[in-house]
A and B are shown apart, each in its own frame.
Chain A
Amino acid sequence: MKEIYLDNNATTKVDELVFEEMRPYFCELYGNPSSMHFFGGQVQKKVDEARNRVAALLGALPDEIVFTACGTESDNAAIRSAIEVFPEKRHIITSRVEHPAVLTQCRNLSKRGYRITELNVDGNGQLDLKELETALDDDTAIVSLMYANNETGVIFPIEEAARMVKEKGALFHTDAVQAVGKIPLNMAESAIDMLSLSGHKLHAPKGIGVLYVRRGTPFRPLLVGGHQERGRRAGTENTGSLIAMGKACELAQLHMAEEGGRVREMRDRLERELTAAIPNTRINGGGTDRLPNTLSIAMEFVEGEGILLLLSEKGICASSGSACTSGSLEPSHVLRAMGVPFTCAHGSIRFSLSRFTTDAEIDAVIKELPPIISRLRQMSPFGREFLEKK
Chain B
Amino acid sequence: MWDYTDKVKEHFLNPRNVGEIIDADAVGEVGSLACGDALKLFIKLDENKERIVDAKFQTFGCGSAIASSSALTEMVKGKTLEEALKITNQEIADFLGGLPEEKMHCSVMGQEALEVAIAKYRGVEAPVHGHDHVDTEGEIVCKCFGLTDLFLKKVIASNKLHTAEQVTHFTKAGGACGGCIPKIKELIAEVLGEEKKVAVEKPVKLTNLRKMQLIQETLENEVRPQLWADGGDLELVDIDGSTVQVAFRKACAGCASSGNTAKFVEQKLRELVSSDIVVQEVQG
Chain A residues close to B by CB (< 8 Å)? 301-306, 309-310, 313, 322-325, 327-331, 342-343, 346, 378-384
> Chain A residues with Cβ under 8 A from B15's Cβ?
379
Give the complex CA separation of A254 and B256 in angstroms: 59
Of A305, A330, A342, A381, which one neighbours B62 at CB under 8 angstroms? Answer: A305
What residues of A have a CB within 8 angstroms of the CB of B176 in the complex? 329-330
Contact across chains for B63 and A380 when beta carbons are under 8 A apart: no
| Residue contact B168 to A329, C-beta cutoff 8 Å | yes
Kindly state whether residue B59 has any CB partner on chain A within 8 Å: yes
- Chain B, interface size: which category? 20 to 34
Q: Given the interface contacts A324-B36, A330-B176, A381-B40, does A302 sit within 8 Å of B60 by beta carbon?
A: yes
B102 contacts chain A at the CB level, 8 A cutoff? yes
B78 within 8 A of A: no
Q: Bound state CA distance, A327 and B101, in angstroms? A: 10
19 pairs of residues in contact across A and B, judged by CB atoms under 8 Å = A303-B36, A305-B62, A306-B61, A309-B9, A309-B12, A324-B61, A324-B62, A325-B62, A328-B175, A329-B172, A330-B175, A331-B36, A342-B33, A342-B34, A379-B15, A379-B59, A381-B40, A382-B33, A384-B20
Is B115 interfacial (CB 8 A cutoff)? no
Shortest distance in angstroms between B173's beta carbon and chain A's nearest beta carbon?
9
How far does the Cβ of A306 sit from chain B's closest Cβ, in whole Å?
A: 6
Contact with A along B30-72 (1 / 0, CB 8 A): 0001101111100000000000000000111111011000000
A304 neighbours in B (Cβ, 8 Å): 62
Contacts of B175 in A (CB 8 A): 328-330
* Cβ contact within 8 Å between A327 and B62: no
Task: Give the chain A neighbours of B168 by CB distance below 8 A.
Answer: 329
- Is B266 engaged at the interface, CB distance under 8 Å to the other chain? no
A309 in contact with B63 (CB, 8 Å)? yes
Contact of B13 among A313, A343, A346 (CB under 8 A): A313
User: Does A305 lie within 8 Å of B40, measured CB to CB?
Assistant: no
Q: Chain A residues with Cβ under 8 A from B12's Cβ?
A: 306, 309
Structural contact, A343 and B36, CB atoms closer than 8 A = no
Given contacts A306-B63, A330-B176, A378-B18, contact A384 B58 (CB under 8 A): yes
- Choose among B15, B40, B61, B145 the residue with the greatest number of A CB atoms under 10 Å from its CB: B61
CA distance A36 to B73 in the complex (A): 73
Q: How far is the CB of A104 from chain B (nearest CB, A)?
A: 14
Q: Does B112 contact A (CB under 8 A)?
A: no
Tell me what chain A mostly uses at the interface: helix, strand, loop, or mixed.
Answer: helix
Q: Compute the total of residue contacts between A and B using a CB distance below 8 Å.
A: 75
Q: B29 an interface residue at 8 Å Cβ cutoff?
A: yes
What's the Cα separation between A302 and B63 when bound, in Å?
11
| CB-defined contacts of A302 to chain B, threshold 8 Å | 60
Q: Is the CB of A322 within 8 A of B36?
A: yes
B33 contacts A301, C-beta separation under 8 Å = yes
Would you list which residues of chain B between 152 and 199 have a CB under 8 Å from chain A? 168, 172, 175-176
In the complex, A179 Cα to B9 Cα: how many Å?
Answer: 36
- Flag if B62 contacts A380 (CB, 8 Å): no
Give the nearest-CB partner of B59 in chain A. A379
Contacts of B63 in A (CB 8 A): 305-306, 309, 324
| Highest count of chain B CB atoms <10 Å: which of A327, A328, A380 | A380
Measured in the bound complex, the distance between the Cα atoms of B36 and A301 in whole Å is 10
User: Is A381 in contact with B58, judged by CB distance below 8 angstroms?
Assistant: yes
Contact assessment for B36 and A306 in the assembled complex, using a CB-CB cutoff below 8 Å:
no
In the complex, chain B residues whose CB is within 8 Å of the CB of A330: 36, 144, 175-176
Interface residue from B36, B39, B102, B172 paired with A346 (Cβ < 8 Å): B36
Produce 1/0 per residue, B120-160, CB < 8 A to A.
00000000000000000000000011000000000000000
**Cα distance, A360 to B59, chains bound together (Å):** 33
Complex Cα–Cα for A322 and B145 (A): 16
- The 7 A-B pairs with the shortest beta carbon distances in the complex, nearest first, are A329-B175, A324-B62, A305-B62, A380-B60, A381-B58, A381-B40, A342-B34
Find chain A residues with CB under 8 A from B34 CB: 342
A383 touching B13, Cβ below 8 Å: no
Query: Most A CB atoms within 10 A — which of B12, B39, B144, B168?
Result: B12
A281 to chain B, nearest CB (A): 16
- Which of B13, B60, B102 is in CB contact (< 8 Å) with A301? B60
Q: Which residues of A contact B20 (CB under 8 A)?
A: 384
Contact status B62-A306, CB under 8 Å: yes
Please, which residue of chain B has its CB at the minimum distance from the CB of A330? B176
Q: How far is the CB of B94 from chain A (nearest CB, A)?
A: 21
Whether A381 contacts B36 in the complex (CB less than 8 A), given A313-B13, A329-B176, comes out as no
Which A residues touch B66, using CB under 8 A?
306, 379
Known: A306-B12, A309-B12, A323-B36. A381 touches B59 (CB 8 A): yes
Q: Taking CB as reference atom, which chain B residue is nearest A328? A: B175
| A313-B13, A328-B175 known; A381 vs B18 contact (CB < 8 Å) | no
B67 → A minimal CB distance (Å): 10
Q: Which residues of A contact B9 (CB under 8 A)?
A: 309
Q: How far is the CA of A378 from the CA of B13 in the complex (A)?
A: 14
Measured between C-beta atoms, what is the minimum distance from B141 to chain A in Å?
15
B residues 84-114 in Cβ contact with A at 8 Å? 102
